[in-house]
Amino acid sequence: MAGKIAKNTLFLTIAYIGQKIFSFVYFSLIARFIGVEKIGLYVTALSFSSLFSIFADLGLTQVLIREGARDKKNLDKILSQIVIIKLLLAILAYLILNLLVFLLGYEAELRQLVFVSGILMILDSLTLSFFGVLRALEDLRYEATAVVIGQVIIVVCGLFVAFLHLPVLFLLLALGMGSLFNLFFSFGMVYRKGIRLKLVWDKKFSGSVIKLSLAFALAGIFSKVYSYIDSVLLSYLAGTKNVGFYSIPNKIVFAFQFVPMAFSASLYPAMSQFFISEKIKLKYTFEKAFNYLMILAAPLAVGIYVIADVFINKVYGTEYAPSIIALRILVFGLIFAFLDFPVGALLNACNKQNIQTAVMGATMVLNIILNIILIPLWGINGASVAAVIGNFTLLFLGFLWVPQIIGRFSIWFWFKNIKIIICAGAMGFFLTFFKKWFLSVISPVGFIHTLIFLGTLIFLGALFYFLILWISGILTQKEIKEILSMFSRKKYGEE
């Protein structure tokens, strides 16, 4: 059983890491090809449909996975009722979504894009149900395969659209090709497993399913709103062009979050076990994970801050120059986002999931208020400040509960984190001066020179950083092995 879980986790983790890399490269290319105006419309339409996608699910997929895993004999019935409920919810969410965009007075082109992206929302919601069945059956190979193939289809179709300079609508149709593939593939695999979909309404059974989904729904709503409300509010308060500018730093920062997600995949089961049996190991595991993520997040934020101007201007074009300051603000939120993953894993593993949900809800409300206040004042920079404050609040409020679970932190814990920050700052100073000198030697004009310039900066910055970590005793050979073990198939914490 343990081997199967590890194998499943490995398949899906690799698939989603690959998907995120493909997605980031693809988005960067189309942003360069179609320009800030069109990318703003594209991201705004997807942000609206993503925001409403939670209302097409409301935690039903989580119920399907949990209840299906417990009662595989009735998986057909569970799936059938959930698909019926989802279809009803999705149609209602779709109608409300399009009505809202119309009432808010958005331009006709955006309304057309939302009309199409809303259909993709319905397709993806159904796909989640079929993947949920496969998860309940503990076979994630098909989901991993579909994630990669679906993304490749999107990239190929999307780049074809971008090269031909077709309207933004065709980019959504490219997404639709990936969504359709995932839907038919997942349904086919479910059918192959012997699960049959019967769209027959069972009022009593459906009522019990809805009750079970409420707890999951609340957390899902908070998470979705927190993730997409900034782009939606920015489109309404500052225009879709500013969403285009904001989408670049937002995508860059989000692209790196697969790192703490991979950590959490190993941390969560280990913490769940240690909470029951070995509290000392629980504390050790949390402190180490927190330190290791600080080791990765701090230089990442500082490094992106230093090279932001060259990276934006050369990779995306000078048209996106207003994104530079926003990126330099957002990267510091990346540190808080990284560090919140072990906090969230600890709270969920130690039966404090209600606290985690409450923290997410409070942060969501604060984030909405800050965006409404700061966007009219500072535009995309205001949205960036709101995001950083939101990430900090999420970490801070969750962290307040950590000592109640594992006890007070040692002085070593705080001292080590301070040393890491100092080392990252030293790397920042080194990179800043080296960048100025290097610009006088090589002008990053054209793809090759830009690649050499950025590659050299990243390599030397990383080399300098890990060298001073080694000299200062923060990073040892033993700790390098521990970091790698968190990404391995072996459960973290096992000897």
Does a structural domain hold residue 17?
A: yes
pTM of the model: 0.86
Instruction: Quickly tell me which residue has 């609340």 as its tokens.
Output: 218
Q: How far apart are CA 53 and CA 182, in angstroms?
A: 17
Does a structural domain hold residue 345?
A: no
Write the DSSP string, 180-201.
HHHHHHHHHHHHHTT-------
Structural domain boundaries enclosing 23: 1-255
Does a structural domain hold residue 24?
A: yes
Q: How far apart are CA 110 and CA 493, in angstroms?
A: 50
Does a structural domain hold residue 410?
A: no
Backbone angles phi, psi at 482, to 5 degrees: -65, -40
DSSP 106: -
Structural domain count, the chain: 1
Q: How far apart are CA 81 and CA 210, in angstroms?
A: 10
Number of Cα atoms under 13 Å in the Cβ half of residue 201: 7
Does a structural domain hold residue 19?
A: yes
Give the chain's radius of gyration (CA, Å). 23
> What's the angle, vertex CA 385, arms to CA 295 and CA 355, rounded to 5?
70
Nearest by Cα to 110 from 121, 94, 123, 98: 98
Does a structural domain hold residue 106?
A: yes
Does a structural domain hold residue 493?
A: no
Q: First and final CA of the chain: distance in angstroms?
A: 18
Instruction: Render each residue's pLDDT in the chain as its tens digit; 495 residues.
Output: 444 444 555 666 677 777 778 888 889 889 988 999 999 999 999 999 998 988 888 888 878 877 777 777 778 888 888 888 899 999 999 999 999 999 999 999 999 999 999 999 999 999 988 888 887 876 777 788 888 899 899 999 999 998 888 999 999 999 999 999 999 999 998 888 888 777 777 777 777 777 777 767 887 788 888 888 999 999 999 999 999 999 999 989 988 877 787 666 566 667 877 887 778 888 888 998 899 899 999 999 999 999 999 999 988 989 999 999 999 999 999 999 999 989 988 888 887 878 888 999 999 999 999 999 999 999 999 999 999 999 999 999 999 999 999 998 888 899 999 999 999 999 999 999 999 998 888 877 777 788 889 999 999 999 999 999 999 888 777 767 766 665 554 444 444
Q: How far apart are CA 473 and CA 431, in angstroms?
A: 22
